[in-house]
């Protein structure tokens, strides 16, 4: 591991060695918050943030995210074993996420660099807590930019004829680097069902449109032809349905008749980079719970 990357990871771990998050979804019922809070109190934890949301209060679903600190947090198995009693009682889908267990991230990119550069800048500034283990591209252009930060860069060309072979190489890299989440930072390729199934709800894409409008290719051109007054960007989890996965974050910008298609692209780049960065940060901080094709995002 490069010295810079190694130092950042160690600093992230030192700053988060006693911090963890608990994410819960279950049928809504009385006593959930009390039971969870009592459990953490009895185990010596200090709750630093607690958020909950009920979807359809009349017989609906309950979602909760609690962030807490706890000395000797490395005793993960004991903590999870003890909590399983509560999990069973309330029929919870739950998991603990430990902040010192820094997620390993792969970034996929083509030629456009704005989304990649935003992620790298935030990572350098310590605002994006991740181990950027690898950057993969179907073009060589951004290799020098990535490698000067000590991050491995792999150029894997993709054509219609070599797509399957290229994806197998990519999947091998993800396995070798033990990747937890993949980010498509304007990676201009459609992933196969095999690839998507390898990382369910762990592939984050940025689409240069305010979905569900203008799904697919050339959204800015189609937005211009339609005469839109607002453009936007959408970050979502990737599924086999093109640009229809659970939405994590969106944003918009007002435009007018004076803007042509190139203007929309230029203005849109700013939205794309910030929307993607926020979505990635929220995933890394375990702030997102998916339910069917929706997300609950705790800010």
In the chain the domains, ranked by start, together with CATH numbers, are: 17-98 (3.30.70.260), 104-297 (3.40.50.170)
**Alpha-carbon distances of 121 from 43, 48, 148, 214, 249, rounded to whole Å:** 38, 28, 13, 29, 20
Q: Band of the pLDDT at 274, cuts 50, 70, 90? A: very high
Please tell me which residue in 243, 251, 263, 286 is annotated as part of the active site: 243
- Res. 88: pLDDT tops 60: yes
- Res. 134: pLDDT tops 90: yes
Please tell me the pTM assigned to this model.
Answer: 0.94
Q: pLDDT tens, 179-222?
A: 999 999 999 999 999 999 999 999 999 998 877 787 878 888 98
Phi, psi of 188 (to 5 degrees): -90, 55
**What is the average pLDDT value for the chain, to the nearest integer?**
93
Q: Band of the pLDDT at 101, cuts 50, 70, 90? A: very high
- Res. 60: pLDDT tops 80: yes
Proportion of the chain above pLDDT 90, given as a percent: 81
Q: Band of the pLDDT at 2, cuts 50, 70, 90? A: low
Would you call 251 a catalytic residue per the annotation? no
DSSP state for residue 238 in the 8-state scheme = -
């Amino acid at each position: 591991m490069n010295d810079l990357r190694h130092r950042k990871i160690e600093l992230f771990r030192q700053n988060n060695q006693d911090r963890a998050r608990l994410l819960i979804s279950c049928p809504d019922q009385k006593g959930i918050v009390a039971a969870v809070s009592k459990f953490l109190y009895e185990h010596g934890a200090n709750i630093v943030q607690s958020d909950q949301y009920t979807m359809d209060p009349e017989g609906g679903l309950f979602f909760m995210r609690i962030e807490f600190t706890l000395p000797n947090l490395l005793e993960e198995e004991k903590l999870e074993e003890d909590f399983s009693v509560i999990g069973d009682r309330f029929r919870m889908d739950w998991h603990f996420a430990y902040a010192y267990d820094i997620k390993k991230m792969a970034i996929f990119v083509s030629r456009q660099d704005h989304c990649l550069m935003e992620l790298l800048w935030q990572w350098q500034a310590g605002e994006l807590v991740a181990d950027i283990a690898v950057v993969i591209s179907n073009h060589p252009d951004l290799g020098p930019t990535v490698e000067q930060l000590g991050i491995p860069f792999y150029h894997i060309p993709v054509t219609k004829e070599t797509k399957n072979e290229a994806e197998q190489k990519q999947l091998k890299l993800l396995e070798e680097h033990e990747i937890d989440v993949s980010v498509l930072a304007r990676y201009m390729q459609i992933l196969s069902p095999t690839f998507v199934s390898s990382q369910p709800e762990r592939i984050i894409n940025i689409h240069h449109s305010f979905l569900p409008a203008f799904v697919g290719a050339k959204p800015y051109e189609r937005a211009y032809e339609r005469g839109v007054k607002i453009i936007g960007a959408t970050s979502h989890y990737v599924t086999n349905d093109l640009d229809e996965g659970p939405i994590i974050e969106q944003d918009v910008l007002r435009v007018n008749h004076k803007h042509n298609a190139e203007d929309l692209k230029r203005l849109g780049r700013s939205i794309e980079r910030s929307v993607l960065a926020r979505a990635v940060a929220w995933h890394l901080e375990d702030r997102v719970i998916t339910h069917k094709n929706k997300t609950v995002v705790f800010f």
